[in-house]
Amino acid sequence: QVQLVESGGGVVQPGGSLRLSCAASGFTFRSHGMHWVRQAPGKGLEWVAFIRYDESDDYYADSVRGRFTISRDNSKNTLFLQMSSLRPEDTAVYYCARAGLHFYMDVWGKGATVSVSS
């Protein structure tokens, strides 16, 4: 079945770095764009980043541009989010999601928790 599984979450100090991974299975990963979306405690959903199926383009929310980098390895069916210069406000559950034709998110992972605290 179609599945996305995030990993790499944890606790990190402000200013630190962390890399999230998202392993995809059950569909042709290399044919789909992918998103990262997060939810801070008590807050709503916030889009973080998007990458096209062939890595030809990537886009970021203003809140993370210049600090986060989205990438993918189509040979390993894996999506990544490299997070640097982390701030307490980056604390959230991070979801990877498969993108549909018009950038909707039709399949979601279970999420990885990132906590930025000293």
Residues near other proteins, by CB under 8 A: 35, 37, 44-47, 50, 57, 59, 61-62, 95, 97, 100-106, 108-111
Burial tier of 38 (Cβ tally within 10 Å: 0-12, 13-18, 19+): buried
Nearer to other proteins, 35 or 72 (CB): 35
Nearer to other proteins, 37 or 83 (CB): 37
DSSP assignment, residue 22?
E
Q: Can you tell me the distance from the alpha carbon of 71 to that of 21, in angstroms, rounded to the nearest whole number?
A: 10
Nearer to other proteins, 16 or 108 (CB): 108
Considering all CA atoms of the chain, what is the largest pairwise distance in Å, rounded to the nearest integer?
Answer: 41
- Least distance between other proteins and beta carbon 12 (Å): 23
